[in-house]
């Protein structure tokens, strides 16, 4: 719960960082001064500001998914890396423990950030276009990944849940990559 409060505080700070300075450099080039907001100039800047916040949250989602997904290659290649570089065993094991400890938290934050990114971009644009539909598919797959991961956490003996969790996560990453490429 402590991490969730910290996450909320960070989002509020990011949101207000974009609201501090409503005067933009391109106002000078359009022949406007800082007090001229008559012909919809301010509304265009506000829409751009929310789009920037949405894009920032989208990139944070991408980083979160990457950080949560690092558990797979680290655990997969652990034995071969330790055999090849025995002097790095302590560092590698501590990194694996750190990522394993926070995997669920990072994955949950990535899912929440992805939902927030989708909502902000949808309300900013007012419609769901092709890249939005693909992003929605990626978030739905990520939600299914989270559900399979929760079930795998509760029933660790069932290895098929691990396979489902990893497979759907890979599909989600592919859909997210297509979403980023199209956007």
Return the pLDDT at 29.
53
pLDDT over threshold 80, residue 39: no
Section 78-103 average pLDDT: 90
pLDDT, tens only, 142-156: 999 999 999 998 888
Return the pLDDT at 31.
54
pLDDT, tens only, 135-144: 999 999 999 9
Of 48-57, 90-99, 101-110, 161-170, least confident by mean pLDDT is 48-57
Higher pLDDT, 26 or 140: 140
Return the pLDDT at 60.
93
**What is the token pair recorded at 146?**
């989270």
Of 80, 91, 179, the C-alpha closest to 138 is 179
Section 170-179 average pLDDT: 95
Distance CA 160, CA 152 (A): 9
Higher pLDDT, 37 or 57: 57
Return the pLDDT at 135.
94
Contact 122, 138 (CB under 8 A): no
**What is the token pair recorded at 171?**
């599909």
Higher pLDDT, 68 or 157: 68
Written as one string, the DSSP assignment of 29-76 is HTT--TT--TTSHHHHHHHHHHHHHHHHHHHHHHHHHHHHHTHHHHHH
pLDDT band, very low/low/confident/very high, at 175 (cuts 50, 70, 90): very high
């Amino acid at each position: 719960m402590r991490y969730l409060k910290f996450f909320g505080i960070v989002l509020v700070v990011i949101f207000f960082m974009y609201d501090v300075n409503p005067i933009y450099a391109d106002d000078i080039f359009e022949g406007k001064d800082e007090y001229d907001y008559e012909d919809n100039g301010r509304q265009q800047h506000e829409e751009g500001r929310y789009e920037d916040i949405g894009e920032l949250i989208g990139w944070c989602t991408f980083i979160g998914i990457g950080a949560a997904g690092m558990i797979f290659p680290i655990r997969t290649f652990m034995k071969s890396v330790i055999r090849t570089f025995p002097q790095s065993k302590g560092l590698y094991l501590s990194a694996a423990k750190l990522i394993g400890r926070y995997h669920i938290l990072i994955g949950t934050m990535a899912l929440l950030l992805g939902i927030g990114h989708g909502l902000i971009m949808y309300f900013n644009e007012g419609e769901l276009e092709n890249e939005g539909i693909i992003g929605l598919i990626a978030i739905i797959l990520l939600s299914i990944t989270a559900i399979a991961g929760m079930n795998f956490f509760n029933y660790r003996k069932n290895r098929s849940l691990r396979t489902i969790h990893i497979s759907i996560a890979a599909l989600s990453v592919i859909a997210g990559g297509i979403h980023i490429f199209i956007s």
